[in-house]
Amino acid sequence: MRAQLLRAAEFVRNARSQDPDALVFVHCQSGVNRAPSVAMAVMITEERSSLLVAFSEVRRARPSVRPKYIKEVALYEEAILGTSSTPALRDGPNSSEFCAMYYGLKNDHTDTEPPQNDRLAVDVSGELKEGGDVSPSGDI
């Protein structure tokens, strides 16, 4: 999984090197698992955001996210940033416990305003296919 997350971040870096104002949309079929995981990894790599900050931003854009790969993203954060903002997640609870414990995802958040971030636009409306090709000319 780490290699796929890194490839997605490289895709964004390549797009931005060609056009610094480029908007990058991360999407998948239902927008609750894989796309949010990829979006968080991109934010960790490109924005140097902690997992907690990245999760919060993605959740503001898409309140229904429930990424089952959150532990893998926590391990990715530690590999990229050299530290973990969620050691309990990395070492213990599963993703459902993490989401319920830190973010109360069972609550209705439909009134939440999406973040206004001109550096990265994230559309998490679908499911990323596992092992999907990441290339400047292809879709993730």
How do the domains of the chain map onto residue ranges? 2-103
Token representation of residue 52: 């907690």
Query: Residue 123 pLDDT > 50, yes or no?
Result: no
Alpha helices (runs of H) in 1-140, residue ranges in sequence order: 2-18, 34-46, 51-61, 70-81, 87-91, 95-103
- Any idea which architecture 2-103 has in CATH? Alpha-Beta Complex (3.90)
Structural contact between residues 8 and 41, judged by C-beta atoms closer than 8 angstroms: yes
Structural contact between residues 39 and 121, judged by C-beta atoms closer than 8 angstroms: no
Whole-structure pTM value = 0.66
3-state secondary structure of 71: helix
Express each pLDDT in 21-64 by its tens digit. 888 888 888 888 999 999 999 999 999 999 999 999 999 999 98
